[in-house]
Chain A
Amino acid sequence: MSLAELFSLLPVLVLAGASLLVLMLGLWLKHLPSLVALGVAACAAAGALAVLVPPEVMEVGGMFSAARYARFFLVLWAGVVAWTLLSSVRYAAARRFQPGEWVSLLLFAGAGMALLSAATSLVGMFLGLEAFTLVLYILIAFHRGSAAGTEAGLKYLVLGVTATAVLAFGVALVYASAGTFHLPEAMAGVAGDSPLRPLGLLGWGMLLVAIGFKVSLVPFHLWTPDVYQGAPAPVAGLLAAGSKGAMFSAVVGLLAGIGLGLRDLTPVLWALSGLSMLLGTLAALRQENVKRMLAYSSVVHMGFVLMGLLDAGPEGQEAVVFYLVFYALVSLGAFGVLTAFSGEEGEPQQLAAFRGAGYRHPFLAAALAVFMLALAGVPPTGGFMAKLGVFAAAIRAGHLPLALVGVLASLVSLVYYLKLVIAMYMSAEGAPPSGSPLHRGTRLEAACVGVCLLGVLLLGLAPGALLDWIGSLL
Chain B
Amino acid sequence: MANLLYLLLLLPLVGGLVNALVGMRLSRRLSGGLAVAAVGAAAALCLWLYWLADGQGTRVSLLAWLESADLRVGFGLLFDRLSAPMALMVTAVSTLIHLYALGYMRAEADHARFFALLNLFVFAMLCIVLADNLALLFLGWEGVGFCSYGLIGYWYREPKNADAGKKAFLVTRVGDVFLAVALLWLFASLGTLDIDALNARAGALAPAALTGISLLLLGGAVGKSAQLPLMTWLPDAMAGPTPVSALIHAATMVTAGVYLLCRLFPLVSLSAAGLQAIALVGALTAFYGATCALRQREIKRVLAYSTMSQVGFMFLAVGVGAASGAMFHLLTHAFFKALLFMAAGCVIALAGHENDITRMGGLRRKSPLVFWSFLAGALCLAGVPLTGGFFSKDAILLAAFSRGDAFHWSVYGLGALTALLTALYTFRLVYLVFAGEARGGEHPAGHAGHDQPLPRVMRWTLPPLAALGLAGGLLNLPAGWPMAGLLDGWLGPLGGAEVRASHALELTLMGVATALVLVGWLLARRWYARFRPPAQGGLDRFLLRGWMADRAYAWLWVKPYLAVGWLLHRGVDERLIDGGLDGAARGIGRGGRLVAAWATGRLSSYLTALALGLGAMLAYFLVRQWAGG
A and B touch in the complex (CB under 8 A): yes
A398 near B: Cβ within 8 Å?
A: no
B residues less than 8 Å from A226 (CB atoms): 599, 601
A118 near B: Cβ within 8 Å?
A: no
* Segment of A204-212, A317-325, A448-456 engaged in the interface with chain B: A204-212
| Contact between chains at A286 and B614 (CB < 8 Å) | no
B residues less than 8 Å from A154 (CB atoms): 603
Separation in Å of the A218 CB from the closest CB of chain B? 9
- Residue among B605, B614, B622 with max Cβ neighbours from chain A (10 Å): B614
B residues less than 8 Å from A279 (CB atoms): 595
A220 to B584 alpha-carbon distance, docked (Å): 27
A466 to B294 alpha-carbon distance, docked (Å): 74
A264 near B: Cβ within 8 Å?
A: yes
Given contacts A159-B606, A209-B610, A209-B614, contact A225 B625 (CB under 8 A): no
**Could you tell me which residues of chain A, from 131 to 158, have a CB within 8 Å of some CB in chain B?**
154-155, 158
| Contact between chains at B598 and A283 (CB < 8 Å) | yes
| Contact between chains at A162 and B592 (CB < 8 Å) | no
User: 1/0 contact trace for B576-602 toward A, CB 8 Å?
Assistant: 000000000000110111111011010
| Contact between chains at A283 and B588 (CB < 8 Å) | no
| Contact between chains at B621 and A205 (CB < 8 Å) | yes
A207 to B618 alpha-carbon distance, docked (Å): 11
Separation in Å of the A291 CB from the closest CB of chain B? 13
Given contacts A212-B613, A220-B609, contact A158 B603 (CB under 8 A): yes
B204 near A: Cβ within 8 Å?
A: no
A309 to B607 alpha-carbon distance, docked (Å): 27
| Contact between chains at A286 and B589 (CB < 8 Å) | yes
Given contacts A208-B617, A279-B595, A283-B595, contact A222 B605 (CB under 8 A): yes
| Contact between chains at B599 and A198 (CB < 8 Å) | no
Closest to B611 in A: A162
**Could you tell me which residues of chain A, from 184 to 205, have a CB within 8 Å of some CB in chain B?**
197-198, 201-202, 204-205
In the complex, number of A-B residue pairs with CB atoms less than 8 Å apart: 85
| Contact between chains at A205 and B620 (CB < 8 Å) | yes
A residues less than 8 Å from B592 (CB atoms): 282-286
Report how many residues on chain B are interfacial, defined by Cβ distance under 8 Å.
Answer: 27
A residues less than 8 Å from B603 (CB atoms): 154-155, 158-159
B residues less than 8 Å from A162 (CB atoms): 607, 610
> Which of these, A264, A267, A285, contacts B589 with CB under 8 Å?
A285
A residues less than 8 Å from B599 (CB atoms): 222, 225-226, 283
A213 near B: Cβ within 8 Å?
A: yes
| Contact between chains at A264 and B618 (CB < 8 Å) | no
A residues less than 8 Å from B625 (CB atoms): 197-198, 201
| Contact between chains at A201 and B593 (CB < 8 Å) | no
> Which of these, B589, B598, B610, contacts A163 with CB under 8 Å?
B610
> Which of these, B596, B605, B609, contacts A283 with CB under 8 Å?
B596
B21 near A: Cβ within 8 Å?
A: no
B612 near A: Cβ within 8 Å?
A: yes
28 contacts across the A-B interface (CB closer than 8 A): A159-B606, A159-B607, A162-B610, A163-B610, A166-B614, A205-B614, A205-B617, A205-B618, A205-B621, A206-B617, A209-B610, A209-B614, A212-B613, A219-B612, A219-B613, A220-B610, A222-B605, A222-B609, A223-B606, A226-B601, A264-B621, A264-B624, A268-B617, A268-B620, A282-B588, A282-B592, A282-B594, A283-B595
| A-B complex: 9 closest residue pairs judged by Cβ atoms | A285-B592, A283-B595, A282-B592, A283-B596, A222-B606, A205-B617, A286-B592, A282-B595, A219-B613
**Contacts A209-B617, A219-B609, A268-B617 known; 6 new A-B pairs at CB < 8 A:** A159-B606, A162-B610, A202-B621, A205-B617, A223-B606, A282-B595
